[in-house]
């Protein structure tokens, strides 16, 4: 029994072993991989993947999928920038409106999936196309440059720390830690709380495990689906704002193919595409693995096309392992 | 071991709460009626007080037991997990030692398991890849065995002897119901036991 418990604990945390092995390999080939500057850079790069992956985790846990998050990010980028730069809105108000819009897109996805009964993959693919088109229409296909979100909002904490100790860098960092990474950590904490400590989290697992039994036991499955897709929209919107704060320029072409990278992070983290199985700690590991992989490949001068091949293979392997383990359990 | 008056059989065979209530209302007075009614009220009431109708609280607690089985028991959280399991066992009246009550509860537990198993034939059950690949009948049966085992014996043997003893009737009821479900369940249950 103890051996079984050990093996089960090992299997649950094996993803972290993969992460550390990956780090060791990249550090062996390029010692600068573990430099502070690169670690900070990775944390900055993975932040918006991480934030979006929380919503995607909820969706995949109920055996759904959300292919619209890349388009939500692009639209949030464009709308927020448009409201600020072209209409002179206050930045907080522009962010608020953009995120509410992202939530409403999530609700629309939920409505198509839960009430109309369109398969999630088709419904969210339709959303992806529609809202990417909206982003092109609003921006005219041109970038909206000069968007500064770090001052006076995201930079608030940075300036606060600068005034106090004067040893910290400003421009969006608290000390050495990028604010976007702090936002990601807070989001992961909230996501973990929802999954592990709230009734909602338990409902997500239950719906993914056996939807009909969940319905009979009293869970309002359709309402939950609305909520989950709305949460996915919210986290995608937040990721869009973080991306905008980093790039300083809104582009309707932003985050193309982003949903597949997020799905890779989530599935790699052990969330089953069949639903009902997965943990937030695994997703964190998945996000870090993909972030490190991208950074490591760039440092090793691997071409962008090869990186795409590798990422595709990682997704195939992650889904393959999940399907294989399911098949082995059943046989 | 858990024999009951034959007059109660239709009530315990039915899984639909409304039909069960009709059977219960039509039932002639007998010694079990008060307790059965009490259990009925307990099982189908909204314990979370969210104003929901059609709640099967016991079925929900079954699902919770299965979810707790799947949750890792890192030593810091083990005490919380055990506390929650104990709370569920109390809600499911597993601390009731009255012989007569145990017999009624055994059949109510079997009814809960039957209601769960009735959902295991739906098209979406055990499907994979976001519902695109539907499971065949055999896959569904294997998955149902796994679910039933996890929410009864699986969760019990992963915990203390005290919990195992408390869950004895529950485990027996779920086991017996599963054995009536399909012929291949016996082998699968034993395989799960061995693993």
**Cβ–Cβ < 8 Å for B109, B174:** yes
Q: Is the dihedral of CA B182, B187, B191, B193 positive or negative?
A: positive
**By C-alpha distance, which of A263, A254, A236 is closest to A132?**
A254
**For residue A63, which residues of chain B lie inside 8 Å, CB to CB?**
124, 127, 130-131
Computed over every residue of chain B, the mean pLDDT equals 88
Contact B56 A277 (CB under 8 A): no
- What is the pTM assigned to this prediction? 0.88
Cis previous bond, B156, omega within 30: no
* Mean pLDDT on B113-139: 86
CB neighbours of A321 closer than 8 A, spacing ≥ 6?
none
Contact B63 A209 (CB under 8 A): yes
pLDDT at A131 over 50: yes
**By C-alpha distance, which of A273, A283, A60, A102 is closest to A192?**
A283
**Cβ–Cβ < 8 Å for A183, A196:** no
B43 to chain A: closest CA residue: A217
**By C-alpha distance, which of A233, A49, A29, A47 is closest to A131?**
A233
A170 pLDDT band (50/70/90 cuts)?
Answer: very low
A161 pLDDT band (50/70/90 cuts)?
Answer: very low
Residue A178 phi, psi (nearest 5): -65, 140
- Which of A63, A117, A205, A216 to mutate: most B Cβ within 10 Å? A216
**For residue A225, which residues of chain B lie inside 8 Å, CB to CB?**
none
ipTM at complex level: 0.90
Q: Looking at residue A144, what DSSP letter applies?
A: B
Shortest CB distance from B56 goes to which of A64, A210, A217?
A217
B72 pLDDT band (50/70/90 cuts)?
Answer: low
* pLDDT, tens only, B47-65: 777 777 789 999 999 999 9
Please, which residues bridge with residue B128 across strands? B133
- Which of A119, A274, A328 to mutate: most B Cβ within 10 Å? A274
Q: Tell me the H-state helices in B53-184.
A: 57-70, 75-91, 99-118, 137-149, 155-157, 161-166, 168-181
pLDDT at A164 over 50: no
Half-sphere exposure at residue A32, Cβ-oriented, CA atoms within 13 angstroms: 9
Alpha-carbon gap, residue A53 to A202, rounded angstroms: 19
Element (H, E) at A178: strand A177-178
* Mean pLDDT on B87-101: 90
End-to-end CA distance of chain A: 22
Residue in this structure with the two tokens 């072209």, named with its chain if needed: A86
With 0-12 CB in 10 A as exposed, 13-18 as middle and 19+ as buried, what is A285? buried
B74 pLDDT band (50/70/90 cuts)?
Answer: low
Which pLDDT value is given to residue A160? Answer: 45
Element (H, E) at A177: strand A177-178
pLDDT at A167 over 50: no
Computed over every residue of chain A, the mean pLDDT equals 86
Alpha-carbon gap, residue B130 to A274, rounded angstroms: 6
Shortest CB distance from A274 goes to which of B72, B128, B147?
B128
**Cβ–Cβ < 8 Å for B181, B147:** no
Shortest CB distance from B119 goes to which of A4, A205, A210?
A210
And the tokens for A194? Answer: 């929802």
**Cβ–Cβ < 8 Å for A120, A66:** yes
Which pLDDT value is given to residue A163? Answer: 44
Q: Does the CB of A329 have a partner CB in chain B at under 8 Å?
A: yes
With 0-12 CB in 10 A as exposed, 13-18 as middle and 19+ as buried, what is B76? exposed
Alpha-carbon gap, residue A155 to A209, rounded angstroms: 43
Which pLDDT value is given to residue A330? Answer: 61
- The answer for A248, left when phi > 0, alpha when psi is -120 to 50, beta otherwise, is left
**For residue A210, which residues of chain B lie inside 8 Å, CB to CB?**
63, 116, 119-120, 125, 147
pLDDT at A57 over 70: yes
Which pLDDT value is given to residue B56? Answer: 94
B123 pLDDT band (50/70/90 cuts)?
Answer: confident
Contact A63 B131 (CB under 8 A): yes
pLDDT at A76 over 90: yes
- Closest-CA distance, A142 to chain B, in angstroms, reads 36
Q: Looking at residue B29, what DSSP letter applies?
A: P
pLDDT at A326 over 80: no
Contact A218 B56 (CB under 8 A): yes
Which pLDDT value is given to residue A88? Answer: 87
Residue A144 phi, psi (nearest 5): -110, 100
pLDDT at A281 over 50: yes
**For residue A1, which residues of chain B lie inside 8 Å, CB to CB?**
157
- Which of B55, B88, B131 to mutate: most A Cβ within 10 Å? B131
The long-range contacts involving B86-89, CB below 8 angstroms and separated by at least 24 positions, are: B86/B163, B88/B61, B88/B64, B89/B163, B89/B166, B89/B167, B89/B170
Helix axes A304-330, A258-268, angle to 10 degrees: 40
* pLDDT, tens only, A181-218: 889 999 999 999 999 888 899 999 999 999 999 999 99
**Percent of chain B having pLDDT more than 70?**
97
């Amino acid at each position: 029994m103890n051996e079984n418990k050990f093996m089960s604990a090992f299997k649950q945390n094996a993803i972290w072993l993969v992460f550390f092995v990956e780090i060791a390999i990249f550090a062996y080939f390029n010692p600068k991989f573990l430099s502070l500057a690169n670690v900070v850079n990775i944390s900055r790069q993975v932040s918006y993947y991480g934030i979006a992956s929380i919503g995607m985790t909820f969706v995949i846990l109920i055996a759904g999928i959300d292919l619209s998050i890349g388009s939500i990010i692009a639209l949030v980028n464009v709308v927020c920038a448009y409201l600020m730069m072209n209409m002179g809105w206050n930045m907080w108000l522009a962010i608020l409106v953009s995120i509410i819009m992202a939530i409403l897109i999530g609700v629309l996805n939920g409505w198509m999936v839960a009430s109309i009964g369109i398969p999630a993959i088709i419904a969210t693919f339709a959303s992806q196309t529609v809202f990417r088109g909206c982003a092109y229409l609003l921006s005219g296909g041109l970038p909206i440059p000069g968007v500064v979100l770090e001052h006076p909002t995201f930079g608030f904490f940075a300036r606060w720390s600068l005034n106090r100790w004067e040893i910290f860098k400003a421009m969006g960092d608290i000390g050495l830690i990028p604010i976007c990474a702090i936002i990601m950590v807070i989001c992961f904490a909230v996501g973990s709380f929802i999954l592990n400590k709230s009734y909602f989290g338990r409902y997500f697992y239950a719906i993914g495990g056996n939807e009909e039994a969940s319905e009979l036991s009293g869970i309002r499955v359709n309402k939950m689906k609305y909520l989950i897709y709305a949460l996915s929209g919210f986290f995608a919107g937040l990721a869009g704002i973080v991306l905008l704060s980093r790039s300083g320029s809104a582009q309707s072409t932003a985050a193309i193919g982003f949903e597949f990278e997020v799905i890779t992070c989530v599935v790699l983290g052990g969330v089953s595409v069949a639903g009902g199985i997965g943990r937030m700690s695994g997703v964190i590991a998945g996000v870090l693995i993909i972030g490190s992989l991208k950074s490591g490949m760039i440092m090793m001068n691997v071409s962008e096309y090869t990186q795409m091949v590798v990422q595709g293979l990682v997704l195939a392997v992650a889904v393959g392992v999940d399907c294989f383990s399911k098949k082995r359990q059943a046989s | 071991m858990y024999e009951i008056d034959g007059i109660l059989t239709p009530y315990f065979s039915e899984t639909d709460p409304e039909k069960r209530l009709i059977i219960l209302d039509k039932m002639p007075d007998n010694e079990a009626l008060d307790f059965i009614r009490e259990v009925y009220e307990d099982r189908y009431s909204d314990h979370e007080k969210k104003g929901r109708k059609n709640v099967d609280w016991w079925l929900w607690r079954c699902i919770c037991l299965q979810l707790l089985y799947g949750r890792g028991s890192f030593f810091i959280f083990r005490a919380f997990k055990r506390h929650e399991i104990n709370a569920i066992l109390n809600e499911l009246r597993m601390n009731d030692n009255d012989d007569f009550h145990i017999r009624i509860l055994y059949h109510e537990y079997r009814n809960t398991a039957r209601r769960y198993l009735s959902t295991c034939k739906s098209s979406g059950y055990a499907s994979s890849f976001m519902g695109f690949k539907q499971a065949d009948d055999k896959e569904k049966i294997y998955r149902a065995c796994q679910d039933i085992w996890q929410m009864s014996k699986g969760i019990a043997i992963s915990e203390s002897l005290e919990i195992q003893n408390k869950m004895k009737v529950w485990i027996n009821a779920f086991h017996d119901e599963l054995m009536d479900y399909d012929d291949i369940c016996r082998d699968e249950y034993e395989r799960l036991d061995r693993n």
